[in-house]
Structure 1
Amino acid sequence: MKVYFVGFGPGDPELLTIRGHKILKEADVIIYPGSIIPEESLSEFKAHKINSHGMKLEEIVETIERFLKDGKKVVRVQSGDPSIYGAIMEQIEELERRGIECEVVPGVSSVFAASARLKAELATSDTPTLIITRAAGKTLERDEIEKLAETNSTLVFLLSSAKIGEISERILRIRGDEPSAVAYRVSQRGEKIVEGKLSEIAEKCAGIERMAVFIVGKALKRARRSRLYA
């Protein structure tokens, strides 16, 4: 028995990978996170669809196992790329414990959909490191924002939309004013891209409290000529 974890990308079905699209077309059952991916985004796929929003881990695993035992091809859809805050490890561990093989199909992360909208490089010769992180919250007791701000890195925050003001203040104390951007519902209906100095970004994106990517760093400046083309 085998289940597929497919990264659906940031929301636009056209950003789904060719392999992901093929597997979804062949699926009998699609289990998707309805709080992030609306069912209409999956409308071209004829499979039976199950919204996993509100389901516990055990319910999801048991649902996958039940349909697999009935001979169905089951796909577990994850938003963005499954490897970034996809919560797939606990699912895979439990499924493999039950003798179920798992294949993970990567997707386009909202991080890179956002950088594409911004026409920005997130890692450059001047800012060579990209850090993807999040602020402390319901499922994370402590973060390391100050420590990360001391590095010469582009900082990208996920799952932190409601704390943009707090994060900005903490980074400002370490780095001073830097370019920043917020990409809300990137590639989806209602998309909003906000750019500005770190000191003003929270005010500019007031009202955005979820489904946003927050980017901070000098890499957002228009770069000088790259050494690659020197």
Structure 2
Amino acid sequence: MTVHFIGAGPGAPDLITVRGLRLIERCPVCLYAGSLVPKEVVASAPGGARVIDTSVLTLDEIIAELEAAHRLGHDVARVHSGDPSIYGAIAEQMRRLDQLGIPYEVTPGVPAFAAAAAALKQELTIPELNQTVILTRTSMKSSGMPEGEDLATLGRSGATLVIHLSIRNLAHIEGELTPLYGADCPVIVAYRVGWPDEQFVRGTLSDITEKVREAKLARTAMIFVGRGLAPENFRDSALYHKDHVHALRGG
């Protein structure tokens, strides 16, 4: 018996990996985060499977379901949104499973920030403009940010920031980042990426708060901040340059 933590991708049912889909198709127990994972993603569970929406369960109740499956020798598809390594709350579940001696594996998924970049037709690393992407969040109702990971510190890098779980904290983001990136720095708010009501709001640090308020977005969104979001006159990468020699393309 194995518990399979599976990244379902950002929302669109066809963005799950083939491996993740095959696991859901064969596991007799399926637990999924219904507030973030569409039912269509787990619709391929086998007939008669125990399919449970965990959005209303506590950690103890989730672990109890995994223990019950373990006693019966039933594999479990534990389906999380996006990629479970990013704000997936799987570490606490794996810690409990380690204590209980229950085996588990992790199948990655398409992270929401990558799906957003694809929908926007946006490369996040632009030659000589920005080569670093930082995934972060701000302190709100969830756990606090560790020392040194505040926006004022991270923003000094000039990297493209992808700020999760912070759509209600835009005023704070504007105040922290404007001195570092400039009031005219491009910002994109990506709402419910991969879902039918997906929406993108473009602006700058000076006006994005008002634009998001007008769009009435209040949850399930990421905030992209960085000069590379609206690049101009950037150089071509060296990868395909005619003078660039590498092992597969001689001089």
What is the TM-score normalised by the length of structure 2? 0.87
The CA RMSD measured in Å over matched residues stands at: 1.5
Between stretches 37-46 and 95-104, larger displacement belongs to 37-46
Give 2:170's aligned residue: 164
What is the TM-score normalised by the length of structure 1? 0.94
1:105 paired residue among 104, 107, 119: 107
Q: Could you tell me which amino acid in structure 2 is paired with residue 148 of structure 1?
A: L
Matches within 5 A, 1:112-191: 112-125=114-127, 126-142=129-145, 144-176=150-182, 177-191=184-198
Give 1:35's aligned residue: 35
SS in 2 for 1:35: coil
Q: Could you tell me which amino acid in structure 2 is paired with residue 139 of structure 1?
A: S
Report the CA distance between 1:180 and its aligned residue.
1.0
Give 1:194's aligned residue: 201
- Give deviations 1:157-193, integer Å, cap 9, x for gaps: 1111111232123211222121110110111011101
- Give deviations 1:65-100, integer Å, cap 9, x for gaps: 101211222111111000001111110111121111
Q: Could you tell me which amino acid in structure 2 is paired with residue 186 of structure 1?
A: V
In structure 1, how many angstroms separate the alpha carbons of the residues matched to 2:35 and 2:20? 20
Report the CA distance between 1:208 and its aligned residue.
1.0
Question: Are 2:221 and 1:212 equivalent residues in the alignment?
Answer: yes
In structure 2, how many angstroms separate the alpha carbons of the residues matched to 1:79 and 1:58? 20
Kindly, what percent of the aligned residue pairs are identical?
Answer: 39
Give 1:56's aligned residue: 58
Give 1:222's aligned residue: 231
Give 1:3's aligned residue: 3
Larger radius of gyration: 2
Q: Give structure 1 regions of 4+ aligned residues with deviation exceeding 4 angstroms.
A: none
Runs of at least 5 residues in structure 2 that lack an aligned partner in the other structure: 242-251
Runs of at least 5 residues in structure 1 that lack an aligned partner in the other structure: none
Matched residue count:
230
In structure 1, how many angstroms separate the alpha carbons of the residues matched to 2:77 and 2:41? 15
In structure 2, how many angstroms separate the alpha carbons of the residues matched to 1:3 and 1:182? 34
In structure 2, how many angstroms separate the alpha carbons of the residues matched to 1:137 and 1:124? 31
